[in-house]
Amino acid sequence: MSAKPKVIIVGGGFGGLSAAQALKSALIDVTLIDRRNYHLFQPLLYQVATGSLSPGEVAAPLRGVLSRQKNTRVLLGDVQDIDPAAKRVVLADGASFDYDSLIVAAGSQTSYYGHDAWQQWAPGLKSVEEATNIRHKILYAFEVAERLTDPAQRRAWLTFVIVGAGPTGVELAGAIGEIARQTLKNDFRSIDPEDAQIILLDGSPRVLMTFPEDLAQKAERSLAKLGVQTKMNTMVHDVDRDGVGIQVNGSPQRLTTKTVIWAGGVTVAPFARPLAKRTGVETDRSGKIKVGADLTIANFPDIYVVGDLALSLDKEGKPLAGVAQVAMQQGAYAAKAIVRKVKGQPKQEAFSYFDKGNLAVIGRAAAVANVFGVHLSGLPAWLVWALIHLLYIVEFQSRVVVFIKWAIQDVTFSRGARLITGDAPTDFNFNREIASGGSASSSKVA
């Protein structure tokens, strides 16, 4: 019907959305396909998992974000296959869509490094559902502990283990520390939430390996103030319903806990596999798709891969990290490359990542930040963090509401979204836990 070139974007995360927005005024038919109807602001997802924000505040409906962009349509669909010769992608429901140029921004998912059975005991933090599941687990653990009388069992329920001490793990551990020390302070009668043990594990020698060392040390001190113990050089070799098996500097130990959260690693989205197979492109061990300096893949100059799915090298030949900043810059680059091609203009220079720095927040009004090489910590770092995150939250409404919530929380220590909703995770049964654990009888109510 239309003679305009067709661009399909797979994925509405940071990379895909930034590509779509960069195509705003182009004479191009843009189709953005995602399995979800919303863009998720991943860096704040830990605040949903810890009851500070509601899912609606860290997500923006893709249709809403792109509704005024008349050259773009949004489709809810699961891209499962590709025919690169015919220039066509195929959805799970069998529908297929032709493209002239394709931008693959399918992202990443939680990886248990071959131990997928751990997932049921140690949810990751990539989706809204996982975040509310983690919120459920954390809050339920305090509820069960309040009802139990056996000290060992109570301790198991009041022990929280976070695997992975990158920014997500550090932020989660800090937030759980705050919940135990401040938010729930006056809420229980039989337990003292401050007795909660919060343990942050990582195989690396220190937290926040991607940050400068002085900031990592400051982060560790801030975590310690919130009651978080850090266990570094620690490998996880088993996770089950009653705890975690670890090796600390080679010697085996066991942590008894009912709540494990996995911030341990990511792998590529499933679409990486058919994409690699059909195009014959090189991948790394984790399945990332190798792209050239122009972000296209070998022999297919019309297929761009951006964000977490792309194996893209910086000037020193080191792979770029899977962070929002990289994805956004790559998405915009790919969009611009397509516009230039359509207009018959010469190619851009090779993609080059402009690193603005790193940020991680540890509890209330404390953070560490490396901004353009300047190292900040404490309140200044937190203010930079708050400003940057607010500016990036896509939708106007969320931005105002989130800001006000933070302001109120910083004054009151309260967390408004402390709901235990949805079905309990498999094999997690409050009645059974209590019944088997010897619950408080009425004589204990005082």
Binding to a second copy (CB under 8 A): which residues in 85-144?
A: 88, 91-98, 128-129, 132, 139-140, 143
Question: Of 181 and 405, which CB lies nearer to a second copy in the complex structure?
Answer: 405
Residues contacting residue 168 through CB under 8 Å, at least 6 positions apart: 46, 125, 263
For 149, other C-beta atoms within 10 Å of its C-beta total: 13
Catalytic residue among 171, 178, 220, 433: 171
Residues contacting residue 145 through CB under 8 Å, at least 6 positions apart: 154, 157, 158, 191
Residues contacting residue 150 through CB under 8 Å, at least 6 positions apart: 437, 438
In the 8-state DSSP scheme, what is residue 87? T
Q: Is position 24 an interface residue for a second copy (rule: CB under 8 A)? A: no
Active-site residue flag, 171: yes
Binding mask 273-302 for a second copy (x = CB under 8 A): ------------------------------
| Positions 46 through 75 that interact with a second copy (CB under 8 A) | 51, 53-57, 59-61, 63-64, 67-68, 73-75
Question: Of 81 and 294, which CB lies nearer to a second copy in the complex structure?
Answer: 81
Question: Of 1 and 152, which CB lies nearer to a second copy in the complex structure?
Answer: 1
Query: Among residues 85, 152, 391, 446, which is the contact residue for a second copy, using CB under 8 A?
Result: 446
Residue 144 beta carbon to a second copy: minimum distance, rounded to whole angstroms:
8
Which two three-digit tokens encode residue 128?
A: 């809204």
Question: Of 14 and 211, which CB lies nearer to a second copy in the complex structure?
Answer: 14
Query: Among residues 79, 330, 409, 428, which is the contact residue for a second copy, using CB under 8 A?
Result: 409
Phi-psi region of 233 (alpha: psi -120 to 50; beta: other; left: phi over 0): left
The count of residues interacting with a second copy (CB under 8 A) is: 84
| Positions 215 through 244 that interact with a second copy (CB under 8 A) | none
Distances (CA, A) of 123 to 132, 176, 442: 10, 15, 35
Q: Is position 414 an interface residue for a second copy (rule: CB under 8 A)? A: yes
Query: Among residues 14, 38, 157, 262, which is the contact residue for a second copy, using CB under 8 A?
Result: 38
Q: Is position 152 an interface residue for a second copy (rule: CB under 8 A)? A: no
Q: What phi and psi, each to the nearest 5 degrees, are found at residue 38?
A: -140, 155
Distances (CA, A) of 305 to 10, 330, 342: 10, 8, 18
Which two three-digit tokens encode residue 409?
A: 């929380």
The residues annotated as belonging to the active site are 171
